[in-house]
Amino acid sequence: MKSNKRLFFFYKNKRSFLLIEVIIAFALITLLIVPLIRNPIYFFRSQIKSLEKLECERIADLTFLDLKLGIYGKKIPTKNLETSKKATKHVTLDPYYLETFNKKEIKRSYKLYSRRKEKQTLNNEKYKLLNIRIFLKPIDQTKKYEYEYKMLCKTK
């Protein structure tokens, strides 16, 4: 019986946790966990942005290929082109959709101009250097991605 009384006094004198101690422990754990969670999320977002930029470069290359085929197939006229990029008007194309980013829409447009006059070769063939500027703008960004390409085009 004597041992039971000691146990009772031991439990009776033992102090329970206070609510403040629990809140302080929770706050300390939260302060230590936040940096561990924040950095991976930041790196994940930056990786998504860099992947989106790479996708835009790929789309610009595909757009240039389409324009090049259009110029060679005489679907895009190359006569009477402007000589400065500021005087040239934007020509809009159909938007492109990224498959990997929840069908994100990318608006496409281009400018076509030639700074130099035609040059003639020894075989009496005339060539013109065309400058093509392609503009891509993801629907959720204010920043436009701009790509410039050059190509030779044979004129008659």
Strand partners, 98: 104
**Amino acid at site 42:** Y
pLDDT digits (tens, 9 = 90+) for 31-87: 888 888 888 889 988 998 888 889 999 999 999 999 999 988 888 888 777 777 677
* Cα 148 to Cα 62: distance, rounded to the nearest angstrom: 13
pTM: predicted TM-score of the whole model, two decimal places:
0.72
Per-domain residue ranges for the chain?
18-155
Query: Do 112 and 130 meet the contact criterion of CB atoms below 8 Å apart?
Result: yes
